[in-house]
Structure 1
Amino acid sequence: MAISGGIDSVCLGHLLHELGINFSLGHVNFQLRGKESDGDEAFVRNIAAQWKVPLFVTKTNKEFLKSTGKSTQMAARDFRYNWFEEVTKENGYEGVLVAHQFEDQIETIFLNLLRGTGIEGLYGMAEKRGIIIRPLLPFSRSQIRTFMEENGFAWRNDSSNDTNDYKRNLLRNRVLPTLSEDFPNGLQVLEMSFKRLKDTGKAFFDLFGLWRDQHVRLEGGYQYLEIVSIKNLSGRQSMLYYWLRDFGFSYFDVEDVIKSVEIGEPGKTFYAGDYMLNLDRDFFILGKNDFEWEPLKVKIYDIELNLRSKKFDILKLGTDFEIEKSTENAMLDFEKLKFPLTVRKWEQGDRMVPLGMDKDKKISDLLVDLKVPMIKKKQVLVLLSGDEIAWLIGFRIGDHFKCTPSTKKVLYFKKVTS
């Protein structure tokens, strides 16, 4: 059980102790309030001795919390929960009890809304999530105080809670009391409304899952969503957001995507961390932003070529062959090739003479002619014979390397289909 020494956690400890539940205590001394923080630790050590339960204590300080680059409250929260998880695993405990109560829940929901969260922000804190268990969420601050006072139980007061330096304190000390004065049952009514909205949210996510499974197609490492499927869809912005958010896109990014769809900007690309979203003519295409590829050598005796999402058998044929018409495969005149061949990413300035042409052409222009989406251009590879491009892999072979009636031996790259 997490214990700060404050009224809520001490109340939970007394309840566990009186019920005869087997538990241990965990206390973090953040050393943010000098002697007061040390007094909290001494109080917790004393109460652990009274209850005769094991106690785990750890310490950190303002300098460490500041070094994380997060706000003090967020850094302290992360430190606390990470430590709880370590202690739980090391000692084989079933979970971590924390003493969040009713007003904490309301404050959390308000803070979520003020941060601009969507419907999930109304969920607040779960009664149980992972190893974290919150048994006091149904009980109000006044109920907890009444229980503690009637039983004569002592607790520590955190003086930082009396200031309005933090947003949560501002809500706790000014906003919620004012709301309760003007609307005596306001917090209870809000809780009921939040519960209904949470249930509505669960229904939405079930429907969203069905919609995504029906409309988002996975192929070759990309996700495809037909643009027409969302043009007149009710709540389309939310649908797109919940599809894209796990890949780093924000709600504001999705607003820009919708605008591009409305004004018609095929080829527009949006970036978010490691991912990019490409508005092709008919589809949204989602995939990795970059494509790492080290040049690969193809030797004369190799029997396969593995290109991550594609795999080719390398066959050597004699004069008895039929010309392969599929652009995915390649048949090259063996005697015109200089081994070892090289597979690398195409580069700006690359040129080749495509099959059937008598002049060279920029690879960038050829990809435009072939209507290759921007997102896929990054992953296009070329096969080089010496310094000459023999194959724009998956699209065109070089005219110089084509097979003719005089070809005596063929190097055949044949895609392996699963």
Structure 2
Amino acid sequence: MQQKFENHIAKNFSFLIGKNLLLATSGGVDSMVMVNLFHKLSFEIAIAHCNFQLRGLESFADQNFVQNFAETNEIPLFLTQFDTKAFADDYKLSTQVAARELRYNWFYELLETKKYDYILTAHHADDNLETFLINLSRGTGLDGLTGIPAQNGKVIRPLLIFSRSEIEQYAMDTSIEWREDSSNASDKYLRNKIRHNLVPILKELNPDFLTSFCKTQAHLQESQEMVEDASIMVYQQVAKQEDDQIHFDLNQLKKLPNYKSYLYQWLNEYGFSAWDDIYDLVDGQSGKQVFSSEFRLLKNRDFLILSPENLEDEDEEYYIFKDQKEVNIPLNLSFSKVSDISLVSNTTIFVDEDKLWFPLVLRRWRQGDSFQPIGMEGKSKKVSKFFKDHKLSLIEKENVWILCSDNQIVWIVGLRQDERFKTGNRTKKILKIQLE
């Protein structure tokens, strides 16, 4: 496996040579083998370990294991701990989604602040198969069947060519120690159900199933590239950009034998999901429209017009002055000075008052707004992307208010505080803001 890995890196990831690499390491067999392989090839590596505190003492035992390994092998180590359950509850996320958001936010922060070039994860061929089956079971387009990408920006997955059994055999042959995650034995999660019950049957029917699957997925990826190329060429014939709108010429569109496939390819990235309604627009009455969370598709005579969905009363603003204790319109907000921080939630935040410029402004969100979600120091995010990630409906989005200080977002009220205004060790005045 070591020689196969070395050849794989030389052929497909030669750009990693000489770079500073951050290896996501849980302590499990996959990540410990990845560390071993890169360490043997004398790459400049560091280990990043997240303790999600989801398995009690076992989580801290994993942390200690990784820490001892890094110290013994003189590998730089970065550790962090998350209250994943509280984060998931606060922001109404599943535990898995919450852990992923916390993990990758921290990884990107390390890349920026510690000057590392890439983050590497230990996903392998069996992970790819499980992801394929999960997407297949939920109903997906071609994108969902092409698997986990070997590279996604700064995230590299160098073990995708190896099976779980290859990795485990290498670990035993080279006496690599690792930690077993007890949650992997549970069928609580869909991925584990597929891993324990479905994949063994497929491998029993065809002992080389994983190899065949990898070949099939390579063909799917090639097909996806062809689809994307064709989509771009046809798009240039059918679509025209006008300011912030895209106009699709229906006369040209309906000449295509598979126009529904092209519409899906073009509109999927805008968050649409009601595909039957969209296809009906082609022959529907002028004035009909379909919405995604951020965009509107309007039938206007011989065109479909794609545009951002504008909020009503976008320019409506309310001012909040220093020492004002409450606001009753358009929301019920209270402001109080406190000496310490109690429970932070979606409806209660604590800010450093000295960082605020008064009067504060309460307004609707606007296209182009961005902020720094708390926990993402130095990394901004578009409010529209935040809404998309949290799957807000059009009605929910229209009811969102933004609290601003000097044109900077302090709080997406009821959803997320901004990192820049949080309290810290040097905070002298703590202002508690609560949504009643």
Amino acid at match of 1:285: I
Is 2:192 the partner of 1:172?
no
Q: Percent identity?
A: 37
Is 2:266 the partner of 1:257?
no
Q: Equivalent residue for 2:70?
A: 48
CA deviations 1:178-218 (Å, max 9, x no partner) are 11011211221122111101101111101101111221012
CA shift at 1:158, angstroms?
A: 0.2
CA shift at 1:50, angstroms?
A: 1.4
Taking the aligned partners of 2:279 and 2:226, their CA distance within structure 1 comes to 24
Q: Could you say if the C-alpha distance between residues 277 and 181 of structure 1 is closer, same or farther in structure 2, counting changes exceeding 3 Å?
A: same
Amino acid at match of 2:293: G
CA shift at 1:220, angstroms?
A: 4.5
CA shift at 1:232, angstroms?
A: 4.5
Taking the aligned partners of 1:221 and 1:49, their CA distance within structure 2 comes to 54
Taking the aligned partners of 2:189 and 2:272, their CA distance within structure 1 comes to 28
Q: Equivalent residue for 1:391?
A: none
Q: Equivalent residue for 1:182?
A: 205
Residues 237, 255 of structure 1: 8 Å contact kept: no
Q: Equivalent residue for 1:214?
A: 237
Q: Equivalent residue for 1:19?
A: 41
Q: Equivalent residue for 1:137?
A: 160
Q: Equivalent residue for 1:277?
A: 297
CA deviations 1:33-80 (Å, max 9, x no partner) are 101111100100110011101110000122223322121111111111
Aligned positions, number: 292
Amino acid at match of 1:228: N
Moved more, 187-196 or 280-289: 280-289
Question: TM (normalized to structure 2)?
Answer: 0.64
Amino acid at match of 1:14: N
Residues 269, 277 of structure 1: 8 Å contact kept: yes
Residues 266, 280 of structure 1: 8 Å contact kept: yes
Match of 2:106 among 76, 80, 83: 83
Q: Equivalent residue for 2:307?
A: 287
Unaligned 5+ residue runs, structure 1? 296-418
Taking the aligned partners of 2:96 and 2:285, their CA distance within structure 1 comes to 43
Taking the aligned partners of 1:127 and 1:60, their CA distance within structure 2 comes to 27
CA shift at 1:244, angstroms?
A: 2.0
Amino acid at match of 1:259: D
Q: Could you say if the C-alpha distance between residues 248 and 151 of structure 1 is closer, same or farther in structure 2, counting changes exceeding 3 Å?
A: closer
Larger radius of gyration: 1
Is 2:133 the partner of 1:110?
yes
Moved more, 169-178 or 105-114: 105-114
Taking the aligned partners of 1:72 and 1:34, their CA distance within structure 2 comes to 15
Match of 1:5 among 15, 27, 44: 27
Taking the aligned partners of 1:138 and 1:294, their CA distance within structure 2 comes to 53
Q: Could you say if the C-alpha distance between residues 21 and 222 of structure 1 is closer, same or farther in structure 2, counting changes exceeding 3 Å?
A: closer
Amino acid at match of 2:92: G
Q: Equivalent residue for 1:128?
A: 151
Is 2:265 the partner of 1:242?
yes
Residues 202, 209 of structure 2: 8 Å contact kept: yes
SS in 2 for 1:143: helix
Amino acid at match of 2:200: P
Taking the aligned partners of 2:62 and 2:237, their CA distance within structure 1 comes to 55
SS in 2 for 1:15: helix
Residues 26, 49 of structure 2: 8 Å contact kept: yes
Residues 240, 254 of structure 1: 8 Å contact kept: no
Unaligned 5+ residue runs, structure 2? 1-22, 317-436
Q: Equivalent residue for 2:228?
A: 205
SS in 2 for 1:169: helix
Taking the aligned partners of 1:76 and 1:294, their CA distance within structure 2 comes to 37
Taking the aligned partners of 2:210 and 2:314, their CA distance within structure 1 comes to 57
Taking the aligned partners of 1:241 and 1:176, their CA distance within structure 2 comes to 31
CA shift at 1:147, angstroms?
A: 0.9
CA shift at 1:294, angstroms?
A: 6.0
Match of 2:59 among 37, 43, 63: 37
Q: Equivalent residue for 1:150?
A: 173
Taking the aligned partners of 1:289 and 1:145, their CA distance within structure 2 comes to 51
Q: Equivalent residue for 1:59?
A: 81
Taking the aligned partners of 1:9 and 1:181, their CA distance within structure 2 comes to 27
Question: TM (normalized to structure 1)?
Answer: 0.67
Is 2:184 the partner of 1:161?
yes
- What's the RMSD between the two structures over aligned residues? 1.8
Q: Could you say if the C-alpha distance between residues 111 and 294 of structure 1 is closer, same or farther in structure 2, counting changes exceeding 3 Å?
A: closer
Q: Could you say if the C-alpha distance between residues 221 and 89 of structure 1 is closer, same or farther in structure 2, counting changes exceeding 3 Å?
A: closer
Taking the aligned partners of 1:220 and 1:99, their CA distance within structure 2 comes to 43
Taking the aligned partners of 2:243 and 2:52, their CA distance within structure 1 comes to 50
